[in-house]
Copies of this chain bind each other. A is one copy, B any other.
Amino acid sequence: MAGSSVKPTPLLKDELDIVIPTIRNLDFLEMWRPFFEQYHLIIVQDGDPSKIIKVPDGFDYELYNRNDINRILGPKASCISFKDSACRCFGYMVSKKKYIYTIDDDCFVAKNPSGELINALEQHIKNLLSPSTPFFFNTLYDPYREGADFVRGYPFSLREGAPTAVSHGLWLNIPDYDAPTQLVKPRERNTRYVDAVLTVPKGTLFPMCGMNLGFNRELIGPAMYFGLMGDGQPIGRYDDMWAGWCMKVICDHMGWGVKTGLPYIWHSKASNPFVNLKKEYKGIYWQEDLIPFFQSAVLPKECVTVQQCYIELAKQVKEKLGKVDPYFIKLADAMVTWIEAWDELNSSGEKSSKSTSK
């Protein structure tokens, strides 16, 4: 192959969509060109649908704006958030691929400590294609990685691991802090490259950030609902958190794994902490009730599909979190609508129409 100009086929080329929520021209894709160009992009345009989003030449994409979402989902479009990056989950719904990678448009290619550009997507794919270890902790981190293995004392019956549903990547430069922490530590930057991937153990919740996230859509897609955020809602910036907590409870029930760690992307710009505080402040006190709720949530054995699990969770949200705030009753209803819409779009072999294609 030496001297050949044939590009190697990228991993999972025909099995993975990249989902990008945005309100602006996607110039950030230029830096990702060598890594993303051979994949298909699903762009979910947030905000004013009359605005034209420019996508750099050479990318294969479909783009949905609010009008498309309303047309495709009809009344069920109410479950998709507006003026919030939570709208990205519409892209998960219309994809027909096995895997999804989603990334924010203010994220750039990071460098590893040797100065090499990090192919984040490739690392996510590695994470998703190798098993997880949710039932017992391996002190040398990912035992399936080259040069590593299970350590002494790790039960042999658990060494086959579990299917991996989610790969949660991290961020160099601007860390994913909440508004109070942003306000207190405006200059803090994440400069530490931790060369590890690890499985979040069964029974443990974590804060899932949607900035740099891969998942197996065939396994866990219907649980990746990013909730009701933004326009007309009392809360923002909890879309990915909500999805992460629901998803984790369901993965634990189904016996699937969730990884966090590598790959890093370069998060270029901190969002405005004052704006964030306004979006977050209800979430900051609600989460004190949400975490105990999700920590103690139990799904009955009868729930054997993600859809069944999710509908059951919606029921429990309504019953138990409805007392915290009426917002959660509305959210629980939207969770049910989301599953109905998911099944509608995903039961037939038909591909939903789109406004722009290349």
Name A residues whose Cβ lies closer than 8 Å to a Cβ of B: 113, 136-141, 147-158, 168, 170, 175-178, 180-181, 185, 188-196, 198, 200-209, 237-238, 240-241, 244, 260, 280, 284, 287-288, 291
Contacts and interface: CB of A to CB of B under 8 A. Distances in A.
A124 to B, nearest CB: 15
A181 B137 contact: no
Contact of A155 (B147, B158, B291): B291
Nearest to A143: B181
Contact of A207 (B139, B175, B195, B206): B139
Given A151-B209, A152-B176, A201-B204, 5 more contacts: A137-B200, A141-B194, A147-B190, A152-B280, A158-B291
9 contacts: A138-B206, A139-B168, A139-B206, A141-B194, A147-B192, A151-B175, A151-B209, A194-B195, A201-B203
A201 to B, nearest CB: 4
Q: At the interface, is chain A mostly helix, strand, loop or mixed?
A: loop
Contacts of A185: 149
A150 B157 CA distance: 35
Copies of this protein in the complex: 2
A139 B152 CA distance: 26
Report the 5 A-B pairs with minimum CB-CB distance, sorted nearest first: A153-B207, A137-B206, A201-B204, A153-B241, A152-B178
Contacts of A209: 139, 151-153
Given A155-B291, A191-B147, A209-B151, A137 B177 contact: no
A204 B207 contact: no
B204 A204 contact: yes
Contacts of A138: 206-207
Contacts of A241: 152-153
A201 B200 CA distance: 9
A85 to B, nearest CB: 13
Contacts of A203: 201, 203-204
A147 B193 CA distance: 12
Nearest to A292: B155
Given A206-B137, A260-B139, A177 B152 contact: yes
